[in-house]
Amino acid sequence: MQNESLILSILFGLASFLYYRIHKWWLSGRDENPIFF
């Protein structure tokens, strides 16, 4: 059970990091230097 919560916390941290990167990229101008797309 503790292993599942560890995996969930890792996934949540990764998802929030990706959301932060995409959000910064989206705000700074979508044409220049696309990170993921």
User: Whole-prediction pTM value?
Assistant: 0.55
Q: How confident is the model at residue 36 (pLDDT cuts 50, 70, 90)?
A: low
- Give me the residue spans of the domains in the chain: 1-37
Residue 19 has pLDDT above 70, yes or no: yes
- Residue 16's pLDDT is 95
Instruction: For residue 25, count other CB atoms closer than 10 A to its CB.
Output: 16
Top-confidence range, 16-20, 25-29, 31-35: 16-20
pLDDT at 5: 95
* Residue 22: how many other CB atoms lie within 10 Å: 13
Distance CA 10, CA 8 (A): 5
The 8-class DSSP code of residue 22 comes to H
